[in-house]
Amino acid sequence: MEDRFNFLKQRYLSLKEEIENACSKTGRNLSEVQLIAVSKKHPAQDIAYLYQLGHTVFGENYVQEALDKQKQLNDLNLNWHFIGSLQTNKVKFVVGNFTVIHTVDREKLVSSLAKQCQKKNYCQKILIQVNVGREPQKAGVLPEGLEKLTEIVLDQKGLKLEGLMTLPPYTENKHQIRKYFSFLRELKEKLEQKFSIQLKELSMGMTHDFKEAIMEGATMIRIGTKIFGPRE
Ligand SMILES: *Cc1c(COP(=O)(O)O)cnc(C)c1O
């Protein structure tokens, strides 16, 4: 138990240091980059340990697993983000239970979320997920469908569009990774112009590419392995 706490502490503190370095290297303010600790497939106890270290923001991918952990950790003041793929039949369990839903990528999901928000009289913050690498196996709206989907989201009262999210193709090529991230940033800027809106969030960057994401303007980085170690 003690060992696990020390393991997490060491990894968490060294990650925080790397984030700080990446920010100062690119002249970004540390407060602009929110760290979401991705705790999927790790036990509630790990989250409690991170909380002891002062961390309160967690990302989860699977609805049931997330709700179980929320229940177990009910007395902690935690901030949950939903970052997994979302089926419409699970929408009712997600609306109102997560600060931000990062993975909105199709019209059917938008109307389902909007309906649930209306029912609960709740305003849900969301991000639109974009498939920047056009990978057939990945979720996310294709870049050419983004404007249309944005228009549909903006038409819904209960949804507050906060920005964009992506999970780019895996590559070791840092130059290529940065191109995917800058592409997402440009898409966000285009939407802001076209719809005269402000979108503050760019959710991008994980264990292997968060530094590149910070350089390209990420405001939320989603990091699992680098904190918790490998998943089952
Ligand atoms: C699992 C997951 C992460 C974290 O990935 P790591 O490589 O473990 O940091 C980030 N974002 C999404 C959408 C994920 O599913």
Distance 206 CA to ligand 1 centre (A): 6
Question: What is the pLDDT, as a whole number, of residue 232?
Answer: 84
Nearest to 225 by CA among 52, 24, 37: 37
Helix axes 2-25, 44-52, angle to 10 degrees: 60
| Residue 159 backbone dihedrals phi, psi, to 5 degrees | -110, 130
Residues of the chain with pLDDT under 70: 1
Distance 67 CA to ligand 1 centre (A): 18
Pocket of ligand 1 (CB under 6 A): 38, 40, 61, 83, 167, 206-207, 222-226
Contact assessment for residue 73 and residue 47, using Cβ atoms and an 8 Å cutoff: yes
Question: What is the pLDDT, as a whole number, of residue 1?
Answer: 67
Residue identifier of the C-alpha nearest atom 6 of ligand 1? 224
Strand-strand pairing, 34-38 and 79-82: unpaired
Rounded CA separation 92/8 (Å): 33
Token pair belonging to 166: 């992506």
Q: Which atom of ligand 1 is nearest to the CA of 102?
A: 13
Distance 218 CA to ligand 1 centre (A): 15
The whole-angstrom distance between residue 109's C-alpha and the CA centroid of its chain comes to 17
Question: What is the pLDDT, as a whole number, of residue 52?
Answer: 98
Token pair belonging to 138: 């990945």
Distance 155 CA to ligand 1 centre (A): 30
Mean pLDDT, the chain, rounded, equals 97
Question: What is the pLDDT, as a whole number, of residue 2?
Answer: 83
Contact assessment for residue 18 and residue 211, using Cβ atoms and an 8 Å cutoff: yes
